[in-house]
Amino acid sequence: MILKPIFTTARWQRCGALAGLGVLTALAVACGPGEDGDSQSPPHDIVVNLGGEVSVLEDLDARPRVVGPRPAGAEDADAYRLASPRQLASGEIVGIRDGGVVAIEPSKPDRAVLLGEAGAWFPSADTERLWAVNEQPAETACTGQEVPQSVSVRFTVSKYETSGRPSRTVLALPCGLQPIADTSRGLLALRTTGDTGGTGAGVRAVTDIVLLDSRADAVAETIATNASVVAASGNNVIWRDDACRKGSCTHTYDVDKRKNSRTPSCESGDTVGVGTLDPSGRWYASRLRTNRLAILDLQQDTCRVLDEPAAPDSSDLEQTFAAVWSGHDLMLLDQRSGVLTSVNAADGKVDKRAEPLPVVNQAQIWGTAEPSS
């Protein structure tokens, strides 16, 4: 199977009550403005990996305090780099490093607890734990079954706590199903239904987006056909119509309402590539075809275009920016210039760091301390 990416960058925030579910980048529910009368303080204690050196910024303009120095002999390498870094509701930063899923406390970002082997991961629906994803070769795991050519692996998922305790829940999905996220109604997955694009290395999987039953061994509901997941968080899934060739090709599926709808339109162009949903699933940040950035309000059906240009010919947000949500604040680190920007998705207020950060080797933002209300 040609793997489709497991998405999302997110940030955690404790709120008085949780929304219905958490998926992928659904790390915790952020209390939106006007929902409880409380305001949110600016992001602080921002944990960044500046390309092999882990630092903490007390605030947007603070001088980086190095907590994970570059190891001797690793001047041209990044020993700390995480794949798919984001935070759980409990606060731990989680990501993939050296073939395993690790958990990191924000107060000790240079230390990592290995939870288990994994090629990918996503948060559990309760936002406190996580699922680790592993692969078994299809030639042995799918022996005797007729599957599309693009199905090269069979996936298993293991549920972990961040304490490092061994997993007690391991599920093996049927061949042709790739787990993407966890929801209160079951695991979200891509089901490969066929191949397109020729043979060999040029073959591409044709997939449906489905919800699985409680044992993850059968499809309970089909959300979309010939489609792929772009982002998922809160009760929303952003997905792309893979047969679409012009205009807006992205849609939103509301897991609670079991309803598909088009994403809000932007006068400056249609959204493209992979973006990021905030933890509540309300705001979606993405690149536009015009190389601008925008934040879509899925609740109000509006689009706010930002004065932040993406790299020419880029499609995914992460090709230009490292991004993380801190409540309803989106922090963007331009990996070309080191400029760090915070955008309030609710009112559009933009705060930009006075001096660029010294970025190398595609710097990352891992998360922040819990913002006070």
Distance CA 30, CA 26 (A): 10
Angle, alpha carbons 265-181-176 (nearest 5°): 105
Among the listed residues 266, 241, 242, the one whose alpha carbon sits nearest the alpha carbon of residue 252: 241
Q: Per-residue pLDDT averaged across 241-261, rounded?
A: 91
| Complete edge-to-edge strand list for the sheet that includes strand 321-326 | 321-326, 329-334, 340-344, 350-352
Domain ranges of the chain: 46-367
Average pLDDT, the chain: 85
Most confident of the following: 200-214, 217-231, 244-258, 273-287: 217-231
- 286-316: pLDDT as tens digits: 999 888 899 999 999 999 999 887 777 778 9
Cα torsion for 170, 173, 175, 179, to the nearest 10°?
-110
| Spatial strand order in the sheet of 302-306 | 271-277, 283-288, 293-297, 302-306
Average pLDDT on 20-28 reads 33
Q: List, in sequence order, every residue forming a beta bridge with 252; answer none if it has no partner.
A: 238, 261
Q: Is 144 exposed, middle or buried (0-12, 13-18, 19+ CB in 10 A)?
A: exposed
Contact between 310 and 287 under an 8 Å Cβ cutoff? The reply is yes
Confidence (pLDDT) at 200: 67
Cβ-in-10-Å burial (0-12, 13-18, 19+) of 4 comes to middle
Interatomic CA distance for residues 311 and 317, integer angstroms: 9
Q: How confident is the model at residue 24 (pLDDT cuts 50, 70, 90)?
A: very low
* Band of pLDDT at residue 328, cut at 50, 70 and 90: confident
> Does pLDDT of 352 surpass 90?
yes
C-alpha to C-alpha distance for 263 and 242, rounded to whole angstroms: 15
Flag whether pLDDT at 8 surpasses 60. Answer: no
More confident of the two residues 280 and 29? 280
Q: Just give the CATH number of 46-367.
A: 2.130.10.120
User: What pLDDT is stored for residue 25 in this prediction?
Assistant: 35
Q: What is the predicted pLDDT for the residue at 6?
A: 45
Q: How confident is the model at residue 21 (pLDDT cuts 50, 70, 90)?
A: very low
Q: Mean pLDDT, to the nearest integer, of 193-202?
A: 79
pLDDT band for 2, please (50, 70, 90 cuts).
Answer: very low
Side-chain-side CA neighbours of residue 371 (13 Å): 22
Rounded Cα distance between 33 and 263, Å, is 21
Mean pLDDT comparison of 105-109, 155-159, 263-267, highest-scoring range: 155-159
pLDDT at 230: 92
